Chains A and B, each alone.
Chain A
Amino acid sequence: LAKTTQPISMDSYEGQEVNITCSHNNIATNDYITWYQQFPSQGPRFIIQGYKTKVTNEVASLFIPADRKSSTLSLPRVSLSDTAVYYCLASYNTDKLIFGTGTRLQVFP
């Protein structure tokens, strides 16, 4: 399990693109990077997962540079409903997910 570091909080306005960067300097060769989203009083929800380069789905994009020591979750044109805590995890072949403190994203109108 690689330790991850991400900003404690970020603020944005509706319609803006938000990029949340996660550092995982000791990521192992077989680790994948996964991002989860959590709204208050709800369970975490999978957003996106990747190994390298770029992954895009209907919700977000994930950018992973060649050295894989960091990754960036990109949320295009955020809305108020994107206000949540976002968790970055780096792991492989493990029987548990270990959540850090995450990044609390606040979107303002």
Chain B
Amino acid sequence: EPEVTQTPSHQVTQMGQEVILRCVPISNHLYFYWYRQILGQKVEFLVSFYNNEISEKSEIFDDQFSVERPDGSNFTLKIRSTKLEDSAMYFCASREGYVNTEAFFGQGTRLTVV
């Protein structure tokens, strides 16, 4: 079964440092997403990406965040200057189509900011 892969599985970084979280979506999928989940809380939408541009973003996705699809296979989330409150699980997801199609989620990257 095809799957979304994320690397690294766990990242520890110091406050103020930049981090890049990487995702490889399923190859024929067109829509890509990042979500985060703070420990014990619900899964929160960050951003959606289609046709090489952001299609929607949440209030959480401020100027510290950016996404990129640099080479047609990877999909990255960059946090420029991490804060303690950025500590969370970050999930990448992809979908083949737009309407009522299953979203496939990766296993997540646990980001710990110290």
Give the interface residue-count category, chain B. Answer: 20 to 34
Q: Count residues on chain A whose CB falls below 8 Å from chain B CBs.
A: 21
- Chain-B contact segment, one of A15-23, A37-45, A60-68, A75-83: A37-45
A interface with B by C-beta (< 8 Å): 32, 34, 38, 41-46, 49, 87, 92-93, 95-102
* Interchain nearest-CB distance for A10 vs B (Å): 17
* Interchain nearest-CB distance for B52 vs A (Å): 15
Asked whether, in the complex, the Cβ of A92 is within 8 Å of the Cβ of B100, the reply is yes
Asked whether, in the complex, the Cβ of A99 is within 8 Å of the Cβ of B108, the reply is no
| Docked complex Cα distance between A44 and B98 (Å) | 18
Q: Assuming A49-B102, A97-B33, A100-B42, what are 7 further A-B pairs, CB within 8 angstroms?
A: A41-B89, A42-B107, A95-B98, A96-B33, A96-B56, A97-B45, A101-B42
B interface with A by C-beta (< 8 Å): 4, 31, 33, 35, 42-45, 48, 50, 55-56, 89, 91, 93, 98-100, 102-108, 110
8 contacts between A and B (CB under 8 A): A38-B43, A42-B107, A43-B106, A44-B105, A46-B102, A96-B33, A97-B103, A99-B43
> Closest residue of chain A to B31, judged by CB?
A95
| Docked complex Cα distance between A100 and B44 (Å) | 9
Summarize B's interface: helix, strand, loop or mixed: strand
Chain A residues near B103 (CB-CB < 8 A): 44, 46, 97
| Docked complex Cα distance between A38 and B100 (Å) | 19
Asked whether, in the complex, the Cβ of B45 is within 8 Å of the Cβ of A43, the reply is no
Say whether, besides A96-B33, A97-B45, A101-B42, A46 and B104 are in contact (CB < 8 Å). yes
| Docked complex Cα distance between A100 and B42 (Å) | 7
> Closest residue of chain A to B57, judged by CB?
A96
Asked whether, in the complex, the Cβ of A95 is within 8 Å of the Cβ of B105, the reply is no
